[in-house]
Amino acid sequence: MSVPASYYLTLSAVLFSIGGIGLLVRRNVLVMFMCVELMLNAANLAFVTFARQMNDVGGQVVVFFVLVVAAAEVVVGLGIIVAIFRRRVGATADDVHVLKG
């Protein structure tokens, strides 16, 4: 008998929270981006757990698509970061705050 699903889900929640807090606290754009990846992985873990628990391959299919989207997102996101910070001296997200009311 394998480890119960609630353990995986708890781990997923911990991973998600760490990613979320990191996203909110850190100011290095690249690290923030990595934190997003952490959160995505937490969600993936939850999906795979449910796929096992409910014996449904759909959860795994969703994870597959999340991986694809994550790859695309990283490509475009990093492209934007390179474009912005090619002209900036630091890597701080707060430097870009023109979009305010």
Partner 1 sequence: MGHLLLAATVPDSLTFAVAAAITVIGALGVVLSRNPVHSALMLIMTLFGVAVLFVEEDAQFLAAVQVIVYAGAIVVLFLFVIMLLGVDRQEALRSEPMPAQRWLALGLGVLALAEVILLAKGHWPTGAHAVAGRARVAGHSNTYVLGRALFTTYLLPFEITSALLVIAVIGAAVLARRPRGQESELDEPTAGGPAFGGENLGSNPSDRALDGPDGEGGEPVGDVLDEAEGVTVVGRPEQ
Partner 2 sequence: MIHAVFLIPLLPLVGFAVLAAFGRKLGNPLAGWIATGAVAASFIVTAIVFAGLFQLAPGHRSFTQTWWNWFSVDRLHVTAGALVDPLSMTMAAFVTGVSTLIHLYSIGYMEHDPQFPKFFVYLNLFVASMLLLVLGSNLVMTFLGWEGVGVCSYFLIAFWFDRPSAASAGKKAMIFNRIGDAGFLLAMFLTFERTGSLQYVTVFHRLGHVGVPSLTAIALLLFLGAAGKSAQLPLYPWLADAMEGPTPVSALIHAATMVTAGVYLMTRINPILHRAPDAAHVVAIIGVLTAFLGATIACAQTDIKKILAYSTISQLGYMFLAVGVGAYVAAIFLMLTHAFYKALLFLGAGSVIHAMNDEQNTKTMGGLRKLMPITAVTFLIAWFSIGGVPPFSGFWSKGEVLLNAYGYSTWLYALGALTALLTAYYLGRCYLLTFSGQARWVEARPAGDGHGVVGSAPPVESDTSNPNTPTERVVAHHGGAGGQEPLHPHDPSWVMSLPLVVLAVASVFGGLIDLPFHPNFVFLERWLSPVVGASLFNGHFSVATEWTFALVDAAIALIGVGLAFALWRGAVDRPAVEPTFLQRAWYIDWGYDRLLARTSTLFAGFLATVVESKVIDGAVNGVGTLFRSGGGVLRRVQTGYVRNYALGVMAGLVVLLAYLVSRAFT
Contacts to partner 2 by CB under 8 A = 20, 23-25, 27, 32, 93-94, 96-101
Residue 99 binding target from partner 1, partner 2, none, CB below 5 to 8 Å by type: partner 2
- In angstroms, the CA 12 to CA 59 distance is 15
Q: In which residue are the tokens 């430097």 written?
A: 95
The distance of closest approach from Cβ of residue 1 to partner 2 in the complex, given in angstroms and rounded to an integer, is 25
Handedness of CA 75, 80, 86, 91 (dihedral sign): negative
Residue 81 binding target from partner 1, partner 2, none, CB below 5 to 8 Å by type: partner 1
Question: How far does the chain reach from its first CA to its final CA, in angstroms?
Answer: 56
The distance of closest approach from Cβ of residue 18 to partner 1 in the complex, given in angstroms and rounded to an integer, is 4
